[in-house]
A and B are shown apart, each in its own frame.
Chain A
Amino acid sequence: MSFANMIRRRLLFLLLVVFGVSLVTFVISHMIPGNPAEMIAGDKAPRELVEKIYKDMGLDRPVLVQYFKYISNLLQGDLGTSIRTQRPVLNDILIFFPATLELAIVALSISIIFGVPLGVISALRKDKVVDHIGHTVSVTGISTPAFWLGLLLIYFFYGKLGILPASGRIDSSIAPPAHVTGLYLVDSLIAGDWPAFKSTVNHLILPALTLGFIHLGVVMRQIRSAMLEVLREDYIRTARASGLSPTRIVLDHALRNALIPSVTIIGLAFGDLLYGAVLTETIFAWPGMGNYVVLSITALDFPAIMGFTIVASTVYVLVNLMVDLLYAALDPQIRAIG
Chain B
Amino acid sequence: MNNSVTETDHVDWAGVFYRIRQQPQMIVGMIIVALVLCTMVFAPWIAPYEPTKLDILNRLAPPSGNHWFGTDQIGRDIFSRVIYGSRISVTVGLGVVLLAMRTGAVIGAFSGLAGGKVDTAIMRIMDVMLSFPSFVMAIALASALGPSLTNAMLAIAVLRIPFYVRLARGQALSLRERSYVKAAETFGSSRIRIVWRHIVPNALPPILVQAMLDIGAAILTASALSFIGLGAQEPAAEWGAMVATGRNFLLDQWWFPTFPGLAILTTAIGFNLFGDGLREIFDPRAQGR
| Chain A residues in the interface with B (C-beta under 8 A) | 13, 16-17, 20-21, 24-25, 28-29, 31-33, 127, 132, 135-136, 139-140, 142-148, 151-152, 154-155, 158-159, 229, 232, 271-272, 274-275, 278-279, 282-283, 293-294, 297-298, 300, 302, 305-306, 308-309, 312-313, 316-317, 320
What secondary structure prevails in chain B residues at the interface with A?
Answer: helix
User: CA A274 – CA B132 in complex, angstroms?
Assistant: 11
Q: How distant is A8 from chain B, measured CB to nearest CB, in Å?
A: 16
With a cutoff of 8 Å between Cβ atoms, the chain B residues found around residue A274 in the complex are 133, 135-136
Shortest Cβ distance from residue B26 to the other chain A in the assembled complex, whole angstroms? 10
B136 touches A275 (CB 8 A): yes
A309 CA / B276 CA spacing, docked (Å): 32
Q: In the complex where A24-B140, A132-B25, A293-B139 touch, is A146 in contact with B250 (Cβ < 8 A)?
A: no
Select A271's contact among B124, B135, B268, beta carbons within 8 Å. B135
- Report B-chain residues with C-beta under 8 Å of the C-beta of A229: 285
Q: What residues of chain B have their CB less than 8 Å away from a CB belonging to chain A?
A: 22, 24-25, 124-125, 127-129, 131-137, 139-141, 143-146, 216-217, 220-221, 223-224, 227-230, 240, 243-244, 247, 250-251, 254, 257-258, 261-262, 264-265, 268-269, 272-273, 276, 285
New A-B pairs, 13, CB < 8 Å, besides A155-B251, A155-B254 = A33-B146, A135-B25, A136-B25, A142-B217, A143-B220, A143-B272, A145-B227, A148-B257, A151-B261, A271-B135, A297-B139, A297-B230, A313-B137
List 10 tightest A-B contacts by C-beta distance, closest first. A148-B261, A275-B135, A143-B268, A28-B144, A20-B128, A271-B133, A143-B269, A316-B133, A309-B140, A17-B131
Q: Which residues of A contact B24 (CB under 8 A)?
A: 132
B residues in contact with A232, CB < 8 Å = 285
Chain A residues with CB below 8 A from B124, complex form: 16
Q: Are A298 and B139 within 8 A (Cβ)? A: no
Q: Are A279 and B228 in contact (CB under 8 A)?
A: yes
A313 contacts B135, C-beta separation under 8 Å: no
Which residues in A have their C-beta under 8 angstroms from that of B146?
33
Kindly state the separation between the CA atoms of A279 and B225 in the bound complex, as whole angstroms: 9
Which residue in B129, B143, B250 is a CB contact (below 8 Å) of A159? Answer: B250
Question: A89 → chain B, closest Cβ, in Å?
Answer: 13
Report the minimum CB–CB distance from A50 to chain B (whole Å).
21
Q: Which of B131, B141, B244, B265 touches A313 (beta carbons < 8 Å)?
A: B131
Q: List 29 A-B contacts (CB under 8 A).
A: A16-B128, A17-B131, A20-B129, A20-B132, A142-B272, A144-B268, A145-B220, A145-B264, A147-B227, A147-B244, A148-B243, A148-B262, A148-B265, A151-B261, A154-B250, A155-B251, A155-B254, A232-B285, A271-B133, A271-B135, A274-B135, A274-B136, A275-B134, A275-B224, A278-B136, A297-B230, A312-B136, A313-B133, A317-B131
Give the residues in chain B near A159, CB-CB below 8 Å: 250-251, 254
Docked complex Cα distance between A302 and B146 (Å): 12
Pairwise interchain contact A24-B228, C-beta atoms closer than 8 A = no
Residues of A within 8 A of B228 (CB): 278-279, 282, 294, 297
Residues of A with C-beta under 8 A to B129: 20
- For the complex, give the distance between the alpha carbons of A317 and B133 in Å: 9
Q: Which residues of A contact B144 (CB under 8 A)?
A: 28-29, 31-32, 302
| Residues from chain B with Cβ under 8 Å of A28 in the complex | 140-141, 144
What residues of chain A lie closer than 8 Å to B137, measured between beta carbons?
Answer: 21, 24, 309, 313
A135 touching B131 by the CB < 8 A rule? no
User: In the complex, what distance in Å separates the CA atom of A306 from the CA atom of B144?
Assistant: 10
Residue in chain A with minimal CB distance to B138: A275
